[in-house]
């Protein structure tokens, strides 16, 4: 990870993070397409590490629509990002799916001790751009 010592900027259930560990910060969801995050580094450490994606605003996935969040990785910052892992997948069927502000939308932990360059891809089947998310990397303090 980027820092061995973290100056606590915010916490979640006793886990610490700082501004440098933000993958998303009030970022709008895509409009019936997909969108990649910026590239970030992600690896296991001796402490538990995880990326947590939460609703920054209320988010509604209307009946018949879907929202999929995947992580892609590579050993190089400018690589092909061929490795993939699902983070979350929501498909509204019969009713809307609603996330309140602060609700956890997805969480993922690193698979190995090897540091990878990663990015998150969010795919929306409809216009979700009114909804915003936060994505932060947390480590046990």
pLDDT tens across 31-61, in order? Answer: 999 999 988 887 766 557 788 999 999 999 9
Q: How far apart are CA 93 and CA 104, in angstroms?
A: 20
Contact present, 83 and 74 (Cβ < 8 Å): yes
Classify domain 23-140 at the CATH topology level: Jelly Rolls (2.60.120)
Query: What is the DSSP track for 22-76?
Result: EEEEEEEPPBSSEEE---EEE---SS-EEEEEEESS-EEE-TT-EEEEEEEEESS
Q: What is the DSSP letter of 98?
A: E
Q: How far apart are CA 32 and CA 126, in angstroms?
A: 4
Tell me the pLDDT tens digit for each residue of 82-91: 888 899 999 9
% of the chain exceeding 90 in pLDDT: 48
pTM of the model: 0.80
Predicted local confidence at residue 112, as pLDDT: 65
> Is the pLDDT score of 10 beyond 60?
no
Is the model more confident about 22 or about 135?
135
């Amino acid at each position: 990870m980027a820092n061995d010592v973290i100056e606590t900027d915010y916490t979640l259930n006793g886990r610490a993070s700082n501004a440098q560990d933000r993958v998303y910060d009030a970022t709008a969801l895509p409009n019936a397409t997909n969108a990649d995050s910026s590239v970030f580094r992600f690896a296991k450490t001796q402490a538990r590490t995880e990326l947590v994606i939460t609703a920054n605003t209320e988010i509604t996935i209307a009946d018949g629509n879907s929202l999929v969040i995947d992580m892609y990785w590579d050993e190089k910052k400018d690589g092909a990002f061929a490795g993939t892992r699902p983070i979350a997948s929501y498909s509204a069927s019969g009713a809307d799916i609603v996330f309140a502000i602060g609700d956890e939308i997805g969480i993922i932990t690193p698979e190995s001790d090897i540091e990878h360059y990663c990015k998150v891809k969010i795919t929306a089947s409809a216009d979700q751009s009114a909804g915003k998310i936060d994505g932060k990397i947390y480590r046990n303090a």
